[in-house]
């Protein structure tokens, strides 16, 4: 097996918990309370703004021109996702005065972990850290499309965004680049990649769980 196949087997239990989570189950059924979904979108917008910085930093560290181009494209794509989300939910995303740019504890934990990789981690570890946001979202989108039974789901446009062909291409490219880089790594370096991949997969579960609970700072 290549690196990505082994890495996915490692996080399979985490992924199973994600698709069993109340957020995903209710999103798939179209019964997720609107305020929970809008909370999630607000936090995801804050997350993507920081995630884009990490994608750009990875592009600056890669040596293959095609890989550099791909990650610059990914970074630009996160801006398009932000704009599309705001277009779809204009009005509902308006914040109360003073609430701008307030990350939930989980969102801040996730983005802080990713941003720390820029100055402290080798590029292969950075790749392992950003891959769950590609791969898990694609798998969740495909899972919902394959199992949903609700017609006129109010969240269908979000589902289609991540279960669509364009996101599949980006996901496949990201996985391929990770495998190509991993092939040139030692076993110790591959283990470090996997640890980052597992940590961020756990943070993906935490992100959806915190959105369902509409997590707030307790002080």
Report pLDDT digits (tens) over 114-168. 999 998 999 999 999 999 999 999 999 999 999 988 889 999 988 888 877 778 8
Separation between Cα atoms, residue 99 and residue 39, nearest integer Å: 12
Asked about 133 being catalytic, the answer comes back as: yes
In a domain, 15, yes or no: no
Counting Cα atoms < 13 Å in the Cβ hemisphere of 94 gives 5
In a domain, 179, yes or no: yes
Place of tokens 């997720």: 32
Asked about 107 being catalytic, the answer comes back as: no
Q: What pLDDT, on the 0 to 100 scale, is given for residue 97?
A: 45
> Do 211 and 24 contact (CB within 8 A), yes or no?
no
Which pTM was predicted?
0.92
Number of domains composing the chain? 1
Separation between Cα atoms, residue 121 and residue 118, nearest integer Å: 6
- Per-residue CA distances from 132 to 98, 100, 124, 190 (Å): 32, 27, 14, 16
In a domain, 14, yes or no: no
Higher local confidence (pLDDT), 90 or 204: 204
Q: Which of 107, 124, 178, 204 is catalytic?
A: 204
Residue 59 belongs to domain with CATH number: 1.20.910.10
Q: Which of 107, 124, 133, 139 is catalytic?
A: 133
3 state SS of 31: coil
């Amino acid at each position: 097996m290549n690196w990505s196949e082994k890495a996915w087997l490692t996080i399979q239990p985490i992924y199973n918990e994600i698709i069993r989570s109340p957020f995903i189950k209710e999103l798939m059924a179209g019964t997720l309370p609107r305020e929970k979904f809008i909370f999630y979108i607000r936090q995801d917008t804050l997350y993507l703004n920081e995630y884009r910085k990490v994608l750009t930093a990875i592009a600056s560290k890669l040596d293959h021109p095609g890989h550099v181009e791909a990650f610059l494209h990914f970074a630009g794509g996160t801006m398009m996702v932000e704009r599309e989300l705001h277009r779809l939910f204009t009005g509902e995303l308006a914040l109360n005065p003073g609430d701008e740019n307030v990350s939930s504890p989980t969102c801040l934990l996730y983005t802080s972990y990713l941003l720390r990789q820029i100055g402290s981690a080798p590029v292969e570890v950075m790749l392992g850290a950003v891959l769950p946001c590609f791969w898990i979202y694609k798998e969740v989108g495909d899972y919902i499309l394959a199992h949903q039974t609700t017609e006129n789901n109010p969240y269908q446009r979000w589902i289609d965004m991540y279960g669509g062909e364009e996101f599949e291409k980006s996901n496949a490219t990201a996985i391929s680049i990770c495998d190509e880089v991993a092939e040139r790594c030692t076993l110790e370096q591959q283990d470090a990649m996997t640890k980052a991949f597992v940590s961020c997969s756990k943070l993906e579960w935490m992100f959806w769980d915190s959105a369902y609970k509409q997590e707030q700072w307790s002080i």
